[in-house]
Structure 1
Amino acid sequence: MDNLVLYNVENRIATITINRPEKRNALNPQLISELTETFIRASEDNGVKIVVLKANGGTFSAGADLEYLQQLQNNTFEENVVDSNNLKKLFTTIYYLPKVVIAQIEGHAIAGGCGLATICDIIFATPESNFGYTEVKIGFVPAIVSCFLKQKVNETIAKEILLTGQTFSADKALQYNLINYVTNSSEIHQTVKKFALSLCKESSGNSLMITKQLINQTTNPLLEKSLEFAVQINARVRESKDFKKGIASFLNKEKINW
């Protein structure tokens, strides 16, 4: 079986590639675990100064996969807390990574996939990319990512995109300050590489690390407390009737009447 996550280092740039294109790079416990381990590997790799996160195939990540959603319906509260903590660990590993993380978004980044993009420090996307936190449409809650999103966009925008669950274009994401650059698909690889190389060559690794820590810790000093609350909310919502109804309808491709 192919590795779900690929790791490559060149010119002090580690490229972490989600490699599940046949499932639109959908998240499941194994992929979440392998991503976390690979980011820790990059963190500890002395030959790495900058990290780029990308995905194979035409979709960055479609969120949770169908088998994963089915499994969640049968989990106990305690199992859901553990599962939510695993997602929290992935997001905080990236957020606190002592190296700059650049996201290269080609194709859609939806739900958990959008959350994964949101956590990164610098985000490039193609014009064709769509973003969205669609959880409310299936009776779920974007609990963990909301703790990070509010630091990137203002409260008005956060409420709009989280409460409506609507998808939006890369241009809108740029307007919202969710991403940094919109780059043509034919150029994004070279543009990201050039940007990463410039950080490698022109900036002190120690200064990049401390500056990232400074920004994160001063803009979001209550993050850990918020995340603990979000994990509990995440697990609790999975026991709700609306979640079970939404997931069942989604899996059966039935229209949900809320």
Structure 2
Amino acid sequence: MTQAVFTEVAERIGYITLNRPDKRNALGPELILALHEAFLAMRANDSVKVIVLKSTGKAFCAGADLGYLQQLQDFSYEENLEDSKRLMELFKLIYDLPKVVIAQVQGHALAGGCGLVTVCDFAFAVPDALFGYTEVRIGFVPALVSVFLQEQIGAAKTQELLLSGELINSSKAAELGLITSVEPTEFLEKSVHDFAQKLLVQNSGFSMAETKSFLRSQNEQSRAAALSSAAELNAKARAHADCKKGIAAFLSKNTPNW
């Protein structure tokens, strides 16, 4: 079986790579667990000062795994809640990590994959990458990501992206503040490496960690409450007829009749 995530440390940079290119790095329980363990290991590694999250293949992350979407239709509320909490804990771990996390986005980042980009501190993307929270198109509710996205780009723009479900290009994503910079495809890796090196050389690791911690602490209680409600909403929404219809249509490559 292909290793879902592999890690490497070089020059005080910790690299975490999604490695399911044949599945467009889609999120399932195994990949979410592997990512969680990888970030915990990087957090505990004193030789790592900056972390880069990247992917193999053409897509950065296409959202939920198709096979897992099929299983979700038969989950109980309790099973769906547990599943939703696993993704919530991964997002929280990355968002609250005391080390800077940079997303290196070489392809499309959709739904949960766009959520991964959202919780990183910086994101560099190629011009052809598309971003979008497409959950509303299949009857899902993008509740978890909404909590982080509103802190990042504001309520109005969050509403625009989540309610429309529209895909946006890298330039628009940068304009909205979803990503940091658009880089030529051939220079993406170098741009991320150079930026990481600048953080390593010019900035105090202690200062960056404390600054990030202070920023996160300002909305900590309200964020925790909102995430708990979001996980419950996700679990309930998955049992709704619209969600079941949307998933069935998505799996059969049809357009649901809303």
By the TM > 0.5 criterion, same fold?
yes
In structure 1, the gaps of 5 or more residues are none
Matches within 5 A, 1:160-199: 160-199=160-199
Residues 151 and 220 in structure 1, CA contact (< 8 A), matched pair in contact too = no
The residue aligned with 2:79 is: 79
Residue type of the alignment partner of 1:39: F
The two structures, once aligned, show a CA RMSD in angstroms of 0.8
Partner Cα separation in structure 2 for residue 98 and residue 154 of structure 1: 23
Partner Cα separation in structure 1 for residue 222 and residue 156 of structure 2: 20
The residue aligned with 1:231 is: 231
**1:36 has 2:32 as partner:** no
Residue type of the alignment partner of 1:38: A
The residue aligned with 1:65 is: 65
Partner Cα separation in structure 2 for residue 122 and residue 182 of structure 1: 11
Residues 20 and 26 in structure 1, CA contact (< 8 A), matched pair in contact too = yes
The residue aligned with 2:111 is: 111
Deviation at 1:2, TM superposition (A): 2.0
The residue aligned with 2:157 is: 157
The residue aligned with 2:102 is: 102
Partner Cα separation in structure 2 for residue 199 and residue 219 of structure 1: 25
Deviation at 1:228, TM superposition (A): 0.3
Deviation at 1:118, TM superposition (A): 0.5
2:89 partner SS: helix
Deviation at 1:154, TM superposition (A): 2.1
Partner Cα separation in structure 1 for residue 189 and residue 102 of structure 2: 12
TM-score with structure 2 setting the length: 0.98
Deviation at 1:153, TM superposition (A): 1.1
Partner Cα separation in structure 2 for residue 180 and residue 221 of structure 1: 27
Matches within 5 A, 1:15-34: 15-34=15-34
Matches within 5 A, 1:204-215: 204-215=204-215
Partner Cα separation in structure 2 for residue 229 and residue 72 of structure 1: 19
Partner Cα separation in structure 1 for residue 158 and residue 46 of structure 2: 37
Deviation at 1:220, TM superposition (A): 5.2
Residue type of the alignment partner of 2:48: V
TM-score with structure 1 setting the length: 0.98
Once the two structures are superposed, residues 126-165 of structure 1 have per-residue CA deviations (whole angstroms, 9 ceiling, x without a partner) of 1111000000000001110000000111222111110010
Structure 1 ranges of 4+ moved more than 4 A: none
For this pair of structures, how many residues does the alignment match? 258
Once the two structures are superposed, residues 182-232 of structure 1 have per-residue CA deviations (whole angstroms, 9 ceiling, x without a partner) of 111110101100110111111111111000111122255411010000000
Identity of aligned residues (%): 47
